[in-house]
Amino acid sequence: MCGFVFLLDNTNTLNKPDTVNHMMDSIRHRGPDDSGYEIIDNMAFGFRRLSIIDLSQASHQPMWDKKKEYLIVFNGEIYNYLEIKNELENLGHTFYSNGDTEVLLTAYIQWGKNCLQKLNGMFSFLIYDNKNKQIFGARDRFGIKPLYIHKTAEKIFIASEIKALFASGAINKQVNWQVASKYLFYGILEDSNDTFFDNVTKIPASHAFQIDTQNLNFSHWQFWKLEKKEIASLNYAEQYYQHFKDSVNLRLRSDVPVGVFLSGGMDSTAIICEMKRQLDASNNPSKLHAYSFISKQFDETQYIDKTLEYTHADIKYLSSKPLELWDEFDSALKMHDEPMHSITALVGYKLMKMAHNDGVKVILNGQGADEAIAGYPNYFQNFWYSLLSSAKFNTLNKELNSFIKEQGGNKRKKLFDLFLTYIRIKSRHIPLYRTQALKKQITALRQDPWYISDFKNQYQLNLEYHHDETLSDALHYSINQYPLPLYLRIEDRNSMANSVEARLPFMDYRLIEYSYSLPDEDKMHAFWNKYILRNAMKNKIPELVRTRKDKMGFPTPIDDWLRGDLYEPFADIINSQATLNRGLYNTSLIKQQLLKHKKGEVNIGSRVFRIVQFENWIKNV
């Protein structure tokens, strides 16, 4: 787990040693343990290392192969590197290090572009072919590891974080107002490969690319897609558990201490309980290190206590007050380079800091489970819509009856709303309907009194209909576009800002593929979400957690906090001269709304947070 930078300058106007060092220094937090760079002709490769596997200098980067024909810089972990290494050794290759970087480089030398199909991990990398004067690179299937690019006709800059591109001194910071307005109007982040900066884009997830270093020709292609596959009609829960078990096993490979973030939910509980089983099975005496956020408004201690009885883990609690979280906001925002989704991101930031202070350099976390096996309450509507669309009327009736019996509600109203949704979605195929829907969207934006007309008119956004609303379609969109890519960015920056590696067992591509291919009824059933995980974890986690019906995660009560400790700092920003001079907002109205919020007459915490965060962000652009 590390960070790297790259520049290719056909003008030969840059001082390459100085430039690459400035770029590397800007991401020192990603790799405080070691650094290095190589300058080759019109290129420079720079690297910062966080030592996790093979702590010796044998895994120093940039790394050449034995013949000095290929060079690699690599950020991430190839979890199945030992299996790939064994395969390569059987093919006659020898190794001088015990890490995964040399394995990845040798895999490319052996199999070329096809090496990507062998990799189980999170990764972004560049490999330079000195003979053919080409660079081959890739980003992992889900984009867990970041990679940004700025290119012109004569220069290309690539880096693990945006700040490293600007540290080159060769790129001007300019706001991408299309992206910024989408966030301000709708709260949307990370739903495309564009960033908040003009001329800086992401290398897409699950894509590989090639650069001709002579003429700077850049081409890219997708090497993996999430698709349904045929799965054996065996015990789905047992098969799911076997995939999960192996995923955790691979992610426990480390030469440094490993910890876990623990909430009272099923995902993190499943991870820590599986860690405990595997450590016991291998007679590993290592103590489990757990970190948890506790909020008075959302008390999960009864669930966490049950898990601690099972695992005997050492746990540390974070119970930051709102102002303590807010004190971290500016430093966290600078690390992220772009706005975050909510103040909840600061919880993860502070938990990572706790782990770092304890000397724990690897954290396992539960990202990806909700999006892969339907963990959010809104997925019930998608599930019922799927049953209606496939004419499974008897099943739909039973599912609704079971849900209402447990959760309450009016069956007739739910059916009526479901049929309206069906008609609305099918109507999207009619051009006139789409035109009218777009007009309605634009009208709603124009009528939004929070923003001035010039801003709204200049940056009107057409939020295209992106998918059907079956459960499979919703999960596919959640995994590939929103919200999972956003949460993965938050996870990466929070962890790497504190020199900690975050590993995500639920993001093993085999587990995601298997989950996606399961029947809908094995993901949601009656009033249960994540039904497959509940079945797979029977007798493997505390029953109190397994049968829990509500969902919290790491919640932060922003509306309550804005009526209390956060009111003054938020109001100060809204009232500031800089905010007024921005010329984007109807600040007098927002001030009135803030006062109404404080009195409990409205709830606008999340919306105010967007403006407050944007104003904090833009002052550093």
User: 319 and 268 in one domain?
Assistant: yes
Token pair belonging to 440: 């309605």
CA–CA distances in Å: residue 596 to residues 132, 458, 560, 602:
66, 30, 13, 6
Kindly state whether residue 580 falls inside one of the protein's structural domains. Answer: yes
pLDDT in tens, 403-414: 999 999 999 999
Q: Do 269 and 292 sit in the same domain of this protein?
A: yes
Q: Beta-carbon neighbour count of residue 74 at 10 Å?
A: 27
Residue 143 and residue 246 share a domain: no
pLDDT of residue 551: 65
Of 167, 200, 222, which closes a domain?
A: 222
Reported as a pLDDT band with limits 50, 70 and 90, residue 573 is very high
CA distance 373 to 543: 19
DSSP state, 532? H
H or E segment to which residue 39 belongs: strand 34-40
Domain presence at residue 433 = no
**What is the torsional sign of CA 570, 574, 576, 578?**
positive
Q: Is 420 contained in some domain?
A: no
Tell me the average pLDDT across 75-84: 98
- Domain-located, residue 462: no
Higher pLDDT, 445 or 218: 218
Query: The CATH number of the domain where 90 resides is what?
Result: 3.60.20.10
pLDDT at 566 over 90: yes
Q: Do 351 and 273 belong together in one domain?
A: yes
574 shares its domain with 537: no
- Which of the pair, 425 or 117, is modelled with greater confidence? 117
Going from the C-alpha of 241 to that of each of 194, 198, 218, 534, 537, the distances in angstroms are 37, 44, 41, 10, 7
pTM exceeding 0.85:
yes
Alpha carbon distance 113, 481 (integer Å): 25
Q: What integer pLDDT is reported at residue 434 of this predicted model?
A: 78
23: in domain: yes
How many structural domains compose the chain?
3
Question: Which residue would you say has higher pLDDT here, 464 or 540?
Answer: 540
Q: Is residue 406 part of a domain?
A: no
Whole-number pLDDT of residue 465: 60
Same domain, 87 and 199: yes
Exposed, middle or buried, 447 (CB in 10 Å: 0-12/13-18/19+)? exposed
CATH code (residue 536) = 3.40.50.620
pLDDT at 464: 63
Indicate if 581 and 534 belong to the same structural domain: no
CA distances from 43 to 98, 163, 212, 350, 371 (A): 28, 19, 12, 37, 40
Q: Quick check: 278 and 252 in contact, CB under 8 A?
A: yes
Percent of the chain with pLDDT over 90: 87
pLDDT band at 56 (very low <50, low <70, confident <90, very high): very high
Q: Where does a domain end: 546, 566, 598?
A: 546
- Token duo for residue 565: 């400790």
The predicted pLDDT at position 435 comes to 79
In a domain, 444, yes or no: no
User: Looking at the structure, do residues 145 and 194 belong to the same domain, yes or no?
Assistant: yes
- Cis link prior to 431 (omega < 30° from 0)? no
**Residues with Cβ within 8 Å of residue 523, at least 6 apart in sequence:** 373, 374, 379, 383, 471, 475, 515, 529, 530, 531, 532
Sign of CA dihedral 143, 258, 269, 555: negative
- Within this chain, do residues 210 and 261 fall inside the same structural domain, yes or no? no
Range of the domain at 570: 558-618
**Does residue 593 surpass a pLDDT of 70?**
yes
pLDDT exceeds 90 at position 601: yes
Say if 400 falls within a structural domain: no
In angstroms, the CA 78 to CA 71 distance is 17
Q: Provide the pLDDT confidence category of residue 295 given band limits of 50, 70 and 90.
A: confident
pLDDT tens per residue, range 231-268 = 987 799 999 999 999 999 999 999 999 999 999 999 99
277, 158: one domain: no
**What is the phi/psi pair of residue 23, to 5°?**
-65, -45
Question: How confident is the model over 539-564, as a mean pLDDT?
Answer: 84
CA distance 140 to 117: 11
Query: How confident is the model at residue 285, as a pLDDT?
Result: 78
Given a cut of 60, is residue 101 above it in pLDDT? Answer: yes
Query: Is it the case that residue 358 has pLDDT exceeding 60?
Result: yes
Amino acid at 97: S
Q: Which tokens hold the place of 420?
A: 């309206």
**Average pLDDT in the chain:** 94
Q: Are 171 and 304 found together in one domain?
A: no
Own/partner long-range contacts of 286-289 (Cβ < 8 Å, ≥24 apart)? 286/257, 286/258, 287/313, 287/314, 288/259, 288/260, 288/312, 288/313, 288/314, 289/257, 289/258, 289/259, 289/260, 289/313, 289/314, 289/316, 289/355, 289/358, 289/360
Sign of CA dihedral 5, 8, 13, 15: positive
Q: Which pLDDT belongs to residue 462?
A: 64
Whether 541 and 595 share a structural domain: no
pLDDT tens across 436-487, in order?
A: 887 887 888 888 899 999 898 887 666 666 567 899 999 999 999 999 999 9
* Contact between residue 581 and residue 557 where contact means Cβ atoms under 8 Å apart: no
Domain boundary among 488, 523, 546: 546
